[in-house]
Amino acid sequence: MPTIRYVTVDVFTDTRFTGNPLAVIFDAEKLSDTEMQNIAKEFNYSEVTFVLPPQDQANSARVRIFTPTMEVPFAGHPNVGTAYVLGQQTELFGKPVGETLRFEEKAGVVEVKLTHQNGKVITASIRAPRALEVGSIVDAETVADCASINVGSIVTKNHTPIYASVGLPFVFTELDSLDTLAKARPNLTAFHEAVQKYPCGGLDFPLFLYVRDTARPWHMRARMFCPFDNVPEDPATGSASAALAAYLVETGTDAGVDGKIAITIEQGVEMGRRSIIQLEATKHEGKVTELLIGGSCTMVMRGELDC
């Protein structure tokens, strides 16, 4: 029986069995869309990537990203993890692997920079494929019900709960304390109602909760719930972290007008899979003109799939 190779990698961490796991499937041109979706469902990770030859030879590869329930146009940890895996190779589709990879995705071309140490890739960072897009406001009561928290714990000084995206939309909500964040639990009945009330054309009401460090406001702790896409909780959500960073840098009064801002988001702590997402936003005349998302990775498993 024919087989195709896969590897798994933990992303946004340098310690195995923490961070956000990712499966990377090679030779995916042999698979149908249905087979890709079934494989993603079988792994049951928040995302699985499938690597195919590029359609434009100026690019490194075509990468498709699947959650257990659907294909998504862009996501952070799949790009970082896939680049880390492919960066271990000397060659990719007949071309040498250099310092930069370019992935063709539904959201556009994603550029990834690799960092090497002693001849090995240790980190990868990607550029967000799109500028910040701000969507609809979400009522605080809906968010509170979904997260099983008191509505008074939602901080609205900087922004109300709101959809924002740099390729994939999320609902962003600031909370008042780490204690509130730790107590949050997804309420499936409330999420079902929220999905109907606030359709976004992407994931089903992906809720990103965060708390800012009062001493270091560009350091944050976060959690992400998306139970109706079979992700009860995500250990690290790079695309959401990027959208939040872009939103706060563009709209926050403490971000200044021009320059680079380094942002650190810690996620997955409450579920025992601590992740560290590093971001750098470049702001010019009030707008984010470049946004980098990066972190460490570590290999976990490798094997073959029957096909």
Q: Which residues are catalytic?
A: 47
User: What secondary structure letter does DSSP report for 75?
Assistant: -
What CA–CA distance (Å, rounded) separates 45 from 263? Answer: 26
Query: What φ, ψ does residue 193 adopt, rounded to 5°?
Result: -65, -40
Identify each DSSP E strand in the chain by its residue range: 3-11, 20-25, 48-52, 61-66, 71-72, 91-92, 95-96, 100-105, 108-117, 120-127, 133-137, 154-155, 162-165, 170-175, 207-212, 219-226, 231-234, 259-267, 275-284, 287-306
Of 168, 167, 77, nearest to 124 by C-alpha is 77
d(CA 299, CA 120): 12
Amino acid symbol at 93:
F
Joined tokens for residue 91: 């060659």
d(CA 288, CA 261): 10
Question: In 3-state terms, what secondary structure has residue 129?
Answer: coil
Give the closest residue to 168 by CA, choosing from 244, 234, 233.
244
